[in-house]
Structure formats: C-alpha cells, structure tokens
C-alpha cells in the first residue's frame, strides 16, 4: 500500500542505526590565506561548506545561523571580504534539486522544496505583508525570512476593499519572487511562503546580511588579496546541527519532508539512499513482502509497504542497539501531527505514532500503551475517502486508548522482548493480521 509519511519511521530509524543518536552535521567557512592585521582584510580564498543541516538558518534559537559564522569571522579579526561566494560540500556538489521520485504536482509547494547539501531556512522563504493605506495601493512588506532576502522580492499585489486576501509568491528567473494577488484593506497581517528555486541566490543575500550585522564588508566583485605566504585551507568558522535524535524527533513531529530526505542522504548517500533504506528495513523485519521505497519522506506515490512490515519493524527495531527508546522519538498524542488526538486519553504519551497523508492515503503507525502491554498498530487506507478514513482511525485510537497508560521511556524494548517467541509471538501474529484487515 502507499504509506505516505509513515515511511519516515523507517528513514529516521535507518539514520539512527548508521549515524548514532548523537551525530551532528557541520556547516563551515573554509579559507586559505591570512588576515591583514592593519585593515582586517582577508587575503586569500574562502568559501562556505554546506552539508545539508536540516536546522541551518531556520531562525534565532532554532538552529545554527549564518550570523553565527559571521561573528566567528569577526572574532578572528576579519573586517573585509572580497570575491564571489564559493560553495562546497563533503558529499559531492553543493546544490539542491527537486527529487525525481516526487510527483510534478508537488512542485511549487512549501512542503516539497529542493533537496541537497545547499540547505538553509528549510529551502523555503516567507514574506509577511500588511494592507496598503487605501484600495489600489501596494501592500507593505513588514518581514521576510531568511533575513536579507527583501532585495529578492518585488511587489505587484494590490490592496482591495474588505477582508479577503489572495496572495502568492511567483518565482522569477533571477532567483527572486514577485508578490502577486490582493489583500483586503481590513485584513490582518498575511504570511506567504514559497520554495526556493535558486537556493544559492538566497544564500548569497542572507550571507551578505549576516556579514553586515557582524561588521564585515563584502564586495563580491573585488578579487581577494593574495596572501604573503601560501597556506593550506583551514576552518575559519564552524557551527553544527543539534544531535541527530533532536532532528529525528522534529522530523516525526512536524512530518518534515525535506529533513527526512536530508537524513536519508546523510546516512545512505545521495544516489543509493532508497536502496540502502530498503535493505535496512528488510534486515530488521526479516521479511518485507512487496516492499518498494523510492524516497525517504513518503511523498512519492510509488512507495509501497505492507502494514505487516510496519508491525514487524516497530516491534523489532527497539530491540536493536540503535533502537533504544525509539518510540520516544515519535510524537505523543496531542502534539505535532497527532494534535487532533489530544482528548479521550488519560494523558499525553499514551500514543506514540506517525501519520501519513496524501491525496489518496490516510495512514498512522505506532504504539499505544495499555495496562496489559503495548499495542502496535498499522492503519493504512488507500482510496478516495481519505478524510473519512482518518476520522475512523482516530476513533479506533480513542477506543483503544480510553483506559490506556503512558508509554514510559526505556520500557518498550523489555516489554516486547517476549514477543520473539511463545504465546506473545502468537499475539503479535494476531495484531499483524488485524492490521492487514484494517
């Protein structure tokens, strides 16, 4: 069946198995040269090394930023930079492209940005506008993120009477956007987002703003000075992502497609990621009939997973060395994509699960704590009545969890240990059969 975003359960487990829960992704400024102590001019080559950190440049307090890098340069005495922006990556070209496995219908949507080492601000831009002073006037842009991209946004939208608004960011060939449509004169602030068509253009504008804030002037048209002595390239500034477990928890809680794809590339490589992911699932489950994986996010309609495969994976993966406490990295009821499961349970954490939604799919897989033990559920619907199917799934979770118990940390692997044999194994088989029927 088409699993949609429940496939992220496999991707995040695979990344944890390969990289470990404490792994971090670096972003660096690399340079070969010296600083002129009199002028603060950097004499030599320099460039940015981006490695696909999903948290990079998302905003103050939400991940490492370009400003953090610029401050480190300023702390090293750099006051002037010259030369164009050079990009590099440790894993091949420093680029970002739209995955071939994704449907063309998703292009231009904020949940489907380009993917690759060149990643900042989730490879999406946001613009916040307010109405003009009168009908027919241009709206005013009051904020844009990432910081520094206002120069890439032009406004052709108009203010109209009433409260209704219909705004869009139309991509331009120069890597910028044109704000079109209309905003009601009595409307509140409106935010409009769009995926980046040219992430390098956005990075250049954001980098210029970060350098300016740190007190460093940058002229891309001026060639950098020649250092007096040839020096080997070295790290001039460096920031790192949060630990992998933190990224995994957010991927599952927010169902972040771009971040899931970056985790897959980080753990499995840019070319063979889906094949290595499928091999990981087969290794854990020992049997995965009909399994076909083409991406790491579940956004493709070509992925195929049997419900019984999810049951086997969720039962066995927490028993592996890398799977300890894995259920705790799935969102609890009442949060993230499970926010509509906030009522009808004794507390948050009775359910730990991952949802999936596409035009023809409503799915949810995960754990539900009960006094007699932990249930593992895999509910997948493929068909035209997706909203009704989702409501039926929520009703089943509320029915089973009305007298449930919170799933404690570190207890699930021990609770499932007997399921590898005997009477508990028979109960597991019954659950798998039930999941297939559902």
Domain made up of 26-97+199-240: CATH architecture:
3-Layer(bba) Sandwich (3.50)
CATH superfamily, domain 4-21+245-437, is DD-peptidase/beta-lactamase superfamily (3.40.710.10)
Contact (CB, 8 A) for 311 and 379: no
CA dihedral 383, 384, 388, 393 (to 10 degrees): 20
Distance between start and end Cα atoms, the chain: 12
Q: Do domains 4-21+245-437 and 26-97+199-240 have the same CATH topology?
A: no
Question: In the prediction, which pLDDT does 274 show?
Answer: 98
pLDDT digits (tens, 9 = 90+) for 80-113: 999 999 999 998 899 999 999 999 999 999 999 9
Question: In the prediction, which pLDDT does 316 show?
Answer: 97
Full 3-state SS string of 136-178: CCCCEEEEEECCCHHHHEEECCEEECCCCCEEEEEECCCCCEE
Q: Tell me the C-alpha distance between 297 and 299, whole Å.
A: 5
Backbone angles phi, psi at 255, to 5 degrees: 55, 55
Low-confidence ranges of the chain (pLDDT < 50): 411-438
Tokens of 273: 């990621």
Q: Tell me the C-alpha distance between 47 and 218, whole Å.
A: 13
Cβ density class 165-198: b for 16+ within 10 Å, e for less: bebebeeeeebbbebbbbbbbebeebebbbbbbb
φ/ψ region of 426 (left if φ > 0, alpha if ψ in -120 to 50, else beta) reads alpha
Neighbours of 16 (CB within 10 A): 23
φ/ψ region of 37 (left if φ > 0, alpha if ψ in -120 to 50, else beta) reads alpha
What pairs with residue 382 in β-bridges?
Answer: 361
Question: In the prediction, which pLDDT does 176 show?
Answer: 94
Contact (CB, 8 A) for 428 and 417: no
Q: Tell me the C-alpha distance between 44 and 86, whole Å.
A: 13
- Nearest by Cα to 352 from 407, 299, 312: 407
What pairs with residue 168 in β-bridges?
Answer: 180
Question: In the prediction, which pLDDT does 432 show?
Answer: 34
Q: pTM for this one?
A: 0.91
How many angstroms separate the Cα of 338 from the Cα of each of 245, 342, 366, 410?
19, 7, 11, 22
Q: Where are the domains of the chain?
A: 4-21+245-437, 26-97+199-240, 104-195
């Amino acid at each position: 069946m088409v699993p949609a975003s429940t496939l992220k359960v496999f991707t995040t487990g695979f990344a944890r198995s390969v990289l470990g829960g404490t792994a971090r992704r670096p972003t660096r400024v690399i340079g070969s040269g010296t600083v002129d102590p009199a002028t603060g001019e950097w004499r030599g080559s320099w460039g940015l090394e981006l490695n696909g950190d999903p948290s990079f440049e998302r905003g103050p307090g939400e991940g490492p930023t370009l400003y953090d890098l610029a401050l480190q340069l300023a702390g090293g005495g750099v006051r002037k930079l010259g030369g164009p922006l050079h990009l590099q990556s440790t894993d091949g070209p420093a680029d970002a492209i739209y995955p071939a496995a994704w449907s063309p219908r998703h292009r231009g949507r904020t949940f489907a940005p380009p993917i690759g080492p060149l990643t900042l601000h989730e490879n999406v831009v946001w613009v916040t506008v307010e109405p003009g002073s009168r009908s027919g006037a241009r709206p005013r842009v009051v904020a844009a993120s990432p910081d520094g991209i206002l120069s890439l946004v032009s406004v052709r939208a108009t203010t109209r009477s009433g409260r209704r608004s219909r705004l869009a960011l139309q991509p331009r060939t120069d890597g910028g956007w044109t704000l079109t449509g209309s905003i009601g004169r009595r409307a509140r602030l409106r935010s409009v987002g769009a995926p980046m068509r040219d992430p390098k253009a956005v990075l250049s504008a954001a980098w210029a703003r970060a350098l300016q804030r740190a007190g460093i002037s940058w002229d891309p048209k001026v060639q950098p000075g020649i250092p007096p002595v040839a020096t080997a390239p070295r790290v001039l500034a460096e920031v790192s992502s949060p630990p992998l477990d933190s990224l995994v928890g957010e991927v599952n809680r927010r169902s972040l497609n771009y971040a899931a794809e970056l985790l897959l590339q980080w753990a499995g490589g840019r070319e063979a990621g889906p094949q290595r992911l499928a091999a990981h699932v087969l290794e854990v489950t020992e049997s995965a009939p009909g399994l076909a994986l083409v991406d790491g996010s579940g956004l493709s309609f070509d992925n195929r997973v049997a419900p019984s495969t999810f049951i086997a994976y969720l039962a066995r993966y927490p028993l592996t060395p890398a799977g300890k406490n894995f259920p705790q990295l799935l969102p609890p009821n009442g949060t993230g994509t499970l926010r509509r499961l906030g009522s009808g349970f004794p507390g948050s954490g009775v359910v730990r699960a991952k949802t999936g939604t596409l035009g023809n799919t409503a799915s949810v897989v995960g754990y539900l704590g009960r006094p007699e033990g932990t249930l593992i559920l895999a509910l997948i619907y493929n068909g035209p009545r997706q909203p009704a199917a989702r409501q039926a799934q929520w009703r089943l979770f509320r029915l089973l969890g009305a007298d449930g118990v919170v799933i404690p940390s570190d207890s699930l692997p021990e609770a499932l240990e007997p399921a590898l044999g005997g009477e508990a194994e028979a109960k597991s088989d019954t659950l798998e059969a039930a999941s297939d029927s559902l």
